[in-house]
């Protein structure tokens, strides 16, 4: 069967299901994608697009003649879910899964749950974060289906979707956890600034530390006469070319709290772009109305910071910045200098990615399988993600994504079996020279050496294989073939650069074989 569809992903799945229900092998189906590969990219070249659509259909017909029936097989599913990370994201997802009646193992590297939220008192909208976190922790501890491991270190991970085995060292003992799904919610870290005298002068702190001092009514902050905030410290540069997203709202929140404590305090926010997206823009306007001064700067003309004394002779931080409106440079005397330190990937991110065979984006955060279609899933089946480990986000966004990840995990563990794809790699033993190139290339640990009648040969575990074909390109003797995407099928597409009239003849040949 050949599909020439305008909605490829949906219709291909529909046709495969229809074929299966009709008793036909679904791997006789081939997609001629004339939407993404033709009409969308050539919308202004109608004549040429039509010719290209003919070529795509002709190539698909040629490939269909080489398709073979493949066998799928069912895998049992363990009903337990492993949640890595005990912050708001991890606890929310664990509690959601447990409330639906499925057991959860929650592993946390620290002695207590809560994660980075432990350091945040309120949100910009006024949510009492500490009360919320305390109630969430109590709910997690009280739920009999949630098993918690503190001071946990994951030593190894093996298995596949529905049947994972994770070895965890926790509180001086080793645990072996059997689980069918995994949710990664390890959170993120805060950049430790090396600029603007941070760590050299006690008057220089981060926004997170400023929020803690405001909540604790620290006199050095609450009684300060002037305070300067500098945004985008440690990000939106060559080293970290991304926006940490939460910093602008955090700065506005701290400024409004300080204005409530002391309306006469002089506050400056030095920014590149204020990104208080959505309804948070109202708080930006409120801060401006209350006298918070906003000064924009360009990255090539960043603020300069030095120690000094104010007009009264007291120690202060002197901040020099160019004001584009006044057209000159301003020198600000700050009793406190607060830095919007970037959100950076957790130090455990690379290790966790290696253990669970998942990928990272160029910024070092975890990368989802598809930003729109699979936003809480990895390309590795059975592993999901949520929270700051994915990318910097606000608490409400973290909670929403945690529920999404929990929903996907429950959709998996609620099933008795899952179907493993038949489009996997296979080794031709008589061509294998046991060089190990395929084993090195495979990122899923799906290939290993096994003793056979012909000696030590590579063998592909069809359960672990994802059919990416990387091993096929590495094999020097072409001893590995990817089912459903064979060399013969691909070469036939290349050879199909004939005339459109050949389609009917090729279709007739395909129908005769079926």
- Torsion sign over Cα 63, 66, 69, 75: negative
Region of poorest pLDDT, from 113-127, 132-146, 440-454: 440-454
- Torsion sign over Cα 358, 371, 11, 382: positive
- Angle at alpha carbon of residue 237, lines to 287 and 119, rounded to 5°: 50
- Rounded to an integer, the average pLDDT of 418-430 is 90
Taking alpha carbons only, the member of 255, 249, 246, 209 closest to residue 228 is 255
Q: Which residue has the higher pLDDT, 462 or 243?
A: 243
Which percentage of the chain shows pLDDT scores above 70? 94
Which domains does the chain show, CATH number per domain?
Answer: 76-187+346-418 (3.50.50.60), 193-341 (3.50.50.60)
Please give the mean pLDDT across all residues of the chain: 91
Place of tokens 């000094």: 308
Region of poorest pLDDT, from 63-72, 205-214, 432-441: 63-72
Q: For 264-284, b where at least 16 C-beta lie within 10 A, e where not — what string?
A: ebbbbbbbbebbbeeebeebb
Region of poorest pLDDT, from 33-47, 179-193, 347-361: 33-47
Query: What Cα–Cα distance (Å) separates residue 33 from each residue in 7, 60, 247?
Result: 8, 9, 42
Would you place residue 241 in the very low, low, confident or very high pLDDT band (cuts 50, 70, 90)? very high
The two three-digit tokens of residue 130, written as one number: 């500490």
Would you place residue 6 in the very low, low, confident or very high pLDDT band (cuts 50, 70, 90)? very low
| Residue 244 pLDDT greater than 90, yes or no | yes
Q: Which residue has the higher pLDDT, 420 or 110?
A: 110
Would you place residue 31 in the very low, low, confident or very high pLDDT band (cuts 50, 70, 90)? confident
pLDDT at site 26 = 87
pLDDT at site 279 = 92
pLDDT at site 246 = 96
pLDDT at site 472 = 93
Query: What Cα–Cα distance (Å) separates residue 377 from each residue in 177, 405, 409?
Result: 21, 8, 9
- Rounded to an integer, the average pLDDT of 168-177 is 94
Query: What Cα–Cα distance (Å) separates residue 491 from each residue in 304, 428, 488, 494, 507?
Result: 62, 20, 5, 5, 17
The two three-digit tokens of residue 267, written as one number: 């506050």
> What is the longest distance spanned by two Cα atoms in the chain?
96
Q: Is 248 in a helix, a strand, or coil?
A: helix
CA 358/CA 354 separation, integer angstroms? 7
| Residue 512 pLDDT greater than 50, yes or no | yes
**What are 386-413's pLDDT values in tens digits?**
999 999 999 999 999 999 999 999 999 9
Q: Which residue has the higher pLDDT, 511 or 409?
A: 409
Find the helix or strand (DSSP H, E) in which 288 lies. helix 281-289
Region of poorest pLDDT, from 37-51, 109-123, 370-384: 37-51
- Rounded to an integer, the average pLDDT of 345-355 is 96
- Rounded to an integer, the average pLDDT of 255-280 is 95
Q: Is 442 left (phi over 0), alpha (psi -120 to 50) or beta?
A: beta
Q: Is 218 in a helix, a strand, or coil?
A: coil
CA 116/CA 388 separation, integer angstroms? 10
pLDDT at site 183 = 98
The two three-digit tokens of residue 301, written as one number: 């003309």
Q: Which residue has the higher pLDDT, 261 or 52?
A: 261
Residues in CB range of 69: below 8 A, 6 or more apart: 25, 27, 28
CA 385/CA 368 separation, integer angstroms? 8
Q: Which residue has the higher pLDDT, 397 or 494?
A: 397
Residue length of the chain: 514
Would you place residue 5 in the very low, low, confident or very high pLDDT band (cuts 50, 70, 90)? very low
CA 336/CA 452 separation, integer angstroms? 72
- Rounded to an integer, the average pLDDT of 349-361 is 95
Q: Is 216 in a helix, a strand, or coil?
A: coil
CA 268/CA 270 separation, integer angstroms? 6
């Amino acid at each position: 069967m050949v599909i020439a569809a305008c909605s490829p992903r949906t219709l291909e799945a529909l046709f495969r299901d229809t074929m299966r229900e009709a008793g036909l092998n679904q791997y006789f189906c081939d997609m001629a994608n004339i939407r993404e590969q033709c009409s969308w990219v050539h919308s202004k070249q109608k004549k040429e697009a039509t010719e290209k659509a003919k070529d795509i259909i002709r190539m698909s017909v040629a490939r269909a003649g080489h398709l073979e029936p493949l066998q799928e097989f069912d895998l049992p599913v363990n009903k337990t879910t492993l949640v890595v990370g005990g912050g708001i994201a991890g606890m929310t997802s664990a509690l959601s899964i447990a409330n639906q009646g499925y057991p959860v193992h929650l592993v946390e590297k620290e002695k207590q749950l809560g994660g980075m939220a432990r350091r945040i008192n309120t949100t910009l909208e006024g949510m009492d974060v500490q009360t919320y976190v305390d109630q969430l922790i109590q709910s997690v501890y009280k739920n009999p289906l949630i098993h918690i491991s503190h001071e946990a270190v994951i030593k190894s991970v093996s298995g596949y979707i529905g049947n994972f085995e994770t070895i965890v060292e926790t509180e001086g003992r080793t645990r072996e956890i059997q689980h069918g799904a995994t949710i990664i919610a390890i959170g993120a870290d805060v950049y430790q600034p090396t600029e603007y005298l941070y760590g050299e002068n006690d008057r220089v702190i981060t926004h997170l530390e400023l929020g803690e001092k405001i909540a604790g009514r620290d006199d050095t902050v609450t009684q300060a006469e002037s305070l300067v905030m500098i945004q985008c410290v440690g990000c939106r540069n060559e080293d970290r070319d991304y926006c940490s997203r939460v910093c602008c709202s955090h700065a506005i929140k701290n400024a409004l709290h300080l204005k409530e404590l002391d309306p006469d305090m002089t506050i400056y926010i030095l920014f590149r772009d204020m990104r208080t997206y959505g309804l948070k823009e109202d708080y930006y306007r409120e801060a401006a109305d209350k006298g918070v001064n906003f000064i924009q700067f360009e990255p090539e003309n960043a603020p300069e910071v030095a120690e000094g004394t104010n007009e009264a002779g007291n120690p202060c931080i002197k901040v020099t910045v160019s004001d584009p409106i006044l057209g000159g440079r301003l020198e600000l005397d700050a009793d406190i200098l607060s830095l919007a330190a970037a959100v950076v990937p957790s130090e455990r991110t690379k290790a966790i990615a290696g253990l669970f065979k998942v990928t990272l984006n160029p910024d070092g955060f975890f990368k989802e399988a598809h930003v729109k279609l699979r936003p809480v899933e990895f390309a590795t089946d059975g592993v999901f993600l949520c929270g700051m480990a994915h990318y910097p986000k606000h608490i409400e966004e973290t909670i929403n994504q945690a529920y999404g990840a929990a929903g996907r995990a429950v959709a998996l563990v609620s099933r008795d079996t899952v179907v493993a794809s038949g489009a996997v790699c296979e080794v031709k033993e008589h061509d294998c020279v046991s060089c190990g190139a395929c084993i090195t290339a495979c990122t899923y640990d799906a290939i290993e050496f096994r003793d056979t009648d012909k000696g030590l040969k590579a063998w592909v575990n069809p359960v672990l294989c994802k059919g990416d074909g990387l091993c096929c390109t590495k094999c020097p003797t072409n001893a590995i073939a990817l089912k459903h995407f064979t060399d013969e099928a691909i070469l036939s597409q290349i050879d199909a650069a004939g005339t459109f009239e050949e389609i009917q003849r090729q279709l007739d040949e395909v129908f005769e074989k079926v």
